[in-house]
Amino acid sequence: MKLRFNISEPINTGSPDYIICNQASSFISFSNLKLLLKIDGTNIINTNDLSSISFPTSPITTTNGYTIFIEKENTNYLVVNIDLINIWNLTTAEFQISKTNYYDYLKVFEIYGYDLGKNPNISPITDTNPDFNLILINKINNEIDGKQTKAYSSFIAYKKPYTSELHFYKSNSGGGEIVYTNFNLEQISTSSDGFICTNNDYQLKQTCNLYYYNNTGRHLLDSCTTNLLTVLNNNSFPTFEASTTCIDCNIECIVINTNNTSTTYIDYSLLSKFYVNDIEVNPYLTQSLIYRLIDFTGNVIQELTYTFDINPLPFVFDPSLYTFAGFQIPEVGDYIIQVEVSVPNLYKCIKNYPIKSCNFYEIKNTNCNEFTVIIIVLKILL
């Protein structure tokens, strides 16, 4: 995955009353910029002058076996390349950034196996990537008696794959009290970082309030609120349905010992796409499709497994390539065709489709209370 970020500062406007809330930002010079960057707990960069670093950096292997190197892109962007294997892999990125006349920025992010940060060279295909811009607040014209006087708000938010967790992080070095609210102005957090659980697209914004104190109490000095940010929900699982057909059946049962076919239809159209190493992909590489014929006692009579790749894109599922062909019901009774769509060690979804063999009986009084059982074979399919 690629973690693409820049380090900027808000452009102050107005004189002498400088304003920084929601102002455009400009890149900070790497000269004498101190950066400690740890990935997976391992130092990747530790320098008092970022301009002295040669890019790309030499690969470093972390304690958990991730190989990492950093490139410079478009002069002002740094791109951390991490060989996370799967989108759901988890590690941490710790930033310690400081420069003379700026407030320090310290933060630890949870990151996963998909790209973070927009690629400025590709538009608009990476618009779904979360921004990952880090903002240093300048003390000049923004401080009186060693105290910050102007509020600034900015944050980074993205989903943890295969969960309902939406994580958010304060992305600037300014002080003040932080409040997060949603579209309905409901308060969801008063911490600088946190998460909420949602299975829908979600809108949230951050407010930073600066206060001052005197002998009459606490008073609001300045306030800044971001625009609403929409974080899209990740639909990480495809939908599917199955059907069963046979040669000689109608609507109620399947004839014993005849060949039958079950077909599964998997819909990947609503599966969320991610970017990994600047390439759009489905959220996992390999799909498993398992058919089972199960009797009424739960015994698996027949089983068939398919494994296939769903990347690279575009991927189109062809149900005719993955059928359960030729299965036979061996005797009268109730059965289940079980279909499992899964990713090993990640998730599985199982659906059962009941079927009956043709096992109807009729008892007739043939002569002087002697009874004959006649098996009526109905060629029927549920």
Q: What is the pLDDT of residues 130-161, one digit of tens each?
A: 779 999 999 988 888 888 999 999 999 999 99
Q: The domain containing residue 157 runs over which residues?
A: 2-231
CATH number at 297 reads 2.60.40.3880
Instruction: Tell whether 141 is covered by a domain.
Output: yes
**Residue where one domain finishes, among candidates 231, 265, 281:** 231
pLDDT digits (tens, 9 = 90+) for 250-279: 667 888 888 899 999 999 999 999 999 999
Is residue 301 located within the same domain as residue 211? no
Whether residue 256 contacts residue 357, with contact meaning beta carbons closer than 8 Å, is answered with: yes
pTM of the model: 0.86
278: in domain: yes
111 & 21 share domain: yes
What values do phi and psi take at 34, rounded to 5?
A: -85, 130
Written as six digits, the tokens of 39 are 């990935």
Per residue in 294-320, pLDDT tens? 998 999 999 999 999 999 999 999 999
Which of 204, 231, 258 is the last residue before a domain boundary? Answer: 231
Listed in sequence order, the residues at least 6 apart from 307 whose beta carbon sits closer than 8 Å to its beta carbon are 286, 287, 288, 289
Burial class (CB in 10 A: 0-12, 13-18, 19+), 145: exposed
Same domain, 225 and 301: no
pLDDT of residue 381 exceeding 50:
no
| 325 and 282 assigned to the same domain | yes
